[in-house]
Amino acid sequence: MSSQAWFITGANRGIGLELAKLAASNGHEVFATSRNPSKSTELNALAASNPKVHVVKLESTSAADAAAAAKFVEQTTGGLDVVVANAGIASNFEKSESLDIAALEEHLRVNTIGPVIIFQALYPLLLKRQTRKFVPISTAGGSIGVMFPPPLTAYGSSKAALNYITKSIHKEHSEEGLIAFPIHPGMVDTDMGKGAAALFGMETMPMSALQSAEAVYNVVDTATAEQGGKFLSYDGTEIPW
């Protein structure tokens, strides 16, 4: 496989870090973002061991950070093949009647608006390559058709909105060869997953970050126009919107 350029947000830990490792191990140029690069020990170690891995400072809701990242990518590789919008939060599981509005706003800002900011900044760079994939990490908890029992109002609604936007991106740009789809990474034993495990009656989530990343990487890497505009799971199956 020829070398590509991958841009992965939230790559300082968990699924994002494992995706960065996988993309790098497959010979790709990797732009791996972190809100605080100086504290991203494992990501910095990866970059130190592989000159194709670049640690990029990015607060996911910052248009200025996104613009600076786009400029750095353009100067380094000239374009991007794949963008994985992985950065997100899941920190509020209150029922609707007691849901903290500030928490709802934060989830929407990070999980919904953040990926749009990233897409707008990096879209011109995707047009400079032929692969052109934009894949936000979503969740089955954002599926209105599935509607899990735990109260996921803040998290689920922010991801449902992200799903709609991602399908819109695919619809608007599929004629340019751009493939966009949200993907559910599974129930993963990350810092975020640990916080939600008790809601599902589990001590830990069943998948490791590496297992999830390997599955997600395979779906993203092999995705064709046929997968564009669909809501996919880590195993490649479709999830109801």
Give catalytic residue positions: 155, 159
> d(Cα 134, Cα 123) in Å, to the nearest integer?
9
> d(Cα 170, Cα 173) in Å, to the nearest integer?
5
Sign of the CA dihedral running 140, 146, 148, 153: positive
Sign of the CA dihedral running 134, 230, 109, 186: negative
Beta carbons of 6 and 80 less than 8 angstroms apart:
yes
How many CA atoms, within 13 angstroms, populate the side-chain half-sphere of residue 89?
Answer: 18
